């Protein structure tokens, strides 16, 4: 892979993470974070982490993320897990993994604590597509 190809792929992943974070925020997700985990995880470049106050809102946020990413960037998830339980839904795009938690589940697992040393991306300030 050339440096230009790598840069384009890295920028596309960052853009997807920011689009997903904005979509979650637009649907009233709480405490939305984008973490650059690529340096510590070989499986993905970014985590988007958001929480919702109830199970119905978890599904609403997940649906909004999938729809917005599809409409904006033409991408669909590789896989989605946890949709039926609506407590911790993982939307896997390969280079970006979106985690939407029910608030109590997020507090229990504290996933962002595991990655407290990785850079946080200011998704709200990122240029909109």
Three-class secondary structure of residue 70 per DSSP: helix
pTM: 0.91
Helix (H) or strand (E) holding 12: helix 3-26
What fold, for 3-114?
Answer: Beta Polymerase; domain 2 (3.30.460)
Q: From CA 34, how far away is CA 90, in angstroms rounded?
A: 14
User: What would the pLDDT profile of 65-85 be if each residue is shown by its tens digit?
Assistant: 999 999 999 999 999 999 999
Q: From CA 63, how far away is CA 19, in angstroms rounded?
A: 13
User: What would the pLDDT profile of 76-123 be if each residue is shown by its tens digit?
Assistant: 999 999 999 999 999 999 999 999 999 999 999 999 899 999 999 999
- The confidence score (pLDDT) of residue 6 equals 56
**Is the pLDDT score of 3 beyond 60?**
no
């Amino acid at each position: 892979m050339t440096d230009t190809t790598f840069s384009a792929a890295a920028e596309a992943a960052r853009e997807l993470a920011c689009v997903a974070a904005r979509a979650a925020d637009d649907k009233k997700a709480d405490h939305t974070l984008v973490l650059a985990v690529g340096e510590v995880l070989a499986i993905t470049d970014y985590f988007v982490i958001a929480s919702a106050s109830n199970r119905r809102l978890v599904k609403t946020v997940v649906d909004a993320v999938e729809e917005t990413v599809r409409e904006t960037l033409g991408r669909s998830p590789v896989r989605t897990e946890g949709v039926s339980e609506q407590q911790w839904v993982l939307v896997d795009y390969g280079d970006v993994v979106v985690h939407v938690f029910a608030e109590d589940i997020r507090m229990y697992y504290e996933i962002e604590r595991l990655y407290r040393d990785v850079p946080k991306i200011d998704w709200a300030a990122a240029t909109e597509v």
